[in-house]
Amino acid sequence: MNLISIVDVKDKLDNIFELSAKLKNEAKRGIFNPELKNKTLAMIFEKASTRTRVSFEVAMTQLGGHAIYLAPRDTQLQRGESIKDTAITLSKYVDGIMIRAYRHENVLELGKYSTVPVINGLTDLEHPCQVISDLFTIKEHKGFDARLAYVGDGNNVCNSLILGCAMTGMTLSVGCPEGYTPDKKIVETAAEFSDKITIHNNAVDAVKAADIVYTDVWISMGQDAEKEKRIEVFKEFQVNSTLLENANNPLIMHCLPAKRGFEITDEILDSENSIVFEQAENRLYVQKALLCMLL
């Protein structure tokens, strides 16, 4: 089984949350069971990463297995070996492949030819591991009756959040500038599961009565050439104290890395309501659960 879109684990979310909670509780008590002894995860990173790389690698170590970091420039992928041949070969050695890539289609291609599970560690379209973990964090703090608002770019994180909220029945209100709204197909898929997802073109409408406000960078990896334009387009979408007066004293979420002073102010990111570093911590436990389930 692959985890390429968050929809791939639609029927398994409850099990994942349950196992994540168990693994978190055990880790806090210093208990680490070698569930993945002798198992190896290959990790291909076309883009930079701090949280995803380290949490997956630590997860494999704590589960008694091993992770191999592969930068495409160090593999034959960079010299033009096909994704298909890479998938078939890696499947002979390892028990799972995690990949962070630019093109979502490339991850689907890897999943098609790999005989071991393929896990999406972020593409330009989705960031499922992030959002599964974020839903776990939301469940711990408020439960799925809370009203979530996402403000900013309708990007990979936003797309997975839309699907994740639709799958859990959460009310989600998205605020993005025109031309930067989430993927149309994803919004249509979400609408098949839920009628509680709304998309707005301004931030104030999106955060109205929200219990949780989530944001992400305005300039995602690979978009540096659009930097000046994006800063101009998104300036009304900053999560700051004035915007949050419209919300319900909300918890603050951000997948990180944050560009402080752009999509979010220091004041809000460092506020008592901010749970961003718990979000980051939970990546470890939730990925352990995903690895146990998939590998």
Question: Does residue 104 touch ligand CP according to CB under 6 A?
Answer: no
Size of the site for ligand NVA (CB under 6 A): 9
Question: Does residue 86 touch ligand NVA according to CB under 6 A?
Answer: no
257 upstream amide cis, omega within 30 of 0: yes
Chain centre to alpha carbon of residue 25: 22
Residue 173 or 220 having the CB closest to ligand CP: 220
CB of 31 vs ligand CP, minimal distance in Å: 26
Chain centre to alpha carbon of residue 266: 22
CA distance 18 to 259: 33
Residue 57 or 183 having the CB closest to ligand CP: 57
Per-residue buried b or exposed e for 162-200, using 16+ beta carbons within 10 Å of the residue's own CB: bbbbbbbebbbbbbbbeebbbbeebbebbeebbebbebb
Question: Does residue 255 touch ligand CP according to CB under 6 A?
Answer: yes
Q: Give the one residue of 255, 280, 290, 292 binding ligand NVA; rule: CB under 6 A.
A: 255
Cα separation values, 18 from 13, 135, 182, Å: 9, 12, 30
64 binds, among ligand NVA, ligand CP, none (CB under 5 to 8 A by kind): none
Q: Which two tokens stand for residue 150?
A: 């996402």
Q: Which residue has the tokens 């990111």?
A: 269
50 binds, among ligand CP, ligand NVA, none (CB under 5 to 8 A by kind): ligand CP
Question: Does residue 130 touch ligand CP according to CB under 6 A?
Answer: yes
CA distance 181 to 178: 6
CB of 121 vs ligand NVA, minimal distance in Å: 9
Contacts of 293 (CB under 8 A, 6+ apart): 12, 15, 16, 19
Element (H, E) at 267: helix 266-269
Please list every residue from 202 through 221 that binds ligand NVA, using CB under 6 A: 216-217, 220-221
Contacts of 41 (CB under 8 A, 6+ apart): 56, 60, 65, 66, 67, 68, 94, 95, 96, 97, 98, 291, 295
Please list every residue from 41 through 80 that binds ligand CP, using CB under 6 A: 49-52
Question: Does residue 5 touch ligand NVA according to CB under 6 A?
Answer: no
Question: Does residue 168 touch ligand NVA according to CB under 6 A?
Answer: no
* Per-residue mark of binding to ligand NVA, 144-163 (x: CB under 6 A): -----------xxx------
CA distance 207 to 41: 39
Size of the site for ligand CP (CB under 6 A): 9
Residue 20 or 130 having the CB closest to ligand CP: 130
Element (H, E) at 92: helix 83-93
Residue nearest to ligand CP according to CB distances in the complex = 52
Residue 112 or 259 having the CB closest to ligand NVA: 259
Residue 122 or 275 having the CB closest to ligand CP: 122
Tell me which residues are annotated as active site: 100, 127, 130, 216, 255, 283
Which residues sit at the interface with ligand CP, rule CB under 6 A? 49-52, 122, 130, 255-257
Which residues sit at the interface with ligand NVA, rule CB under 6 A? 122, 155-157, 216-217, 220-221, 255
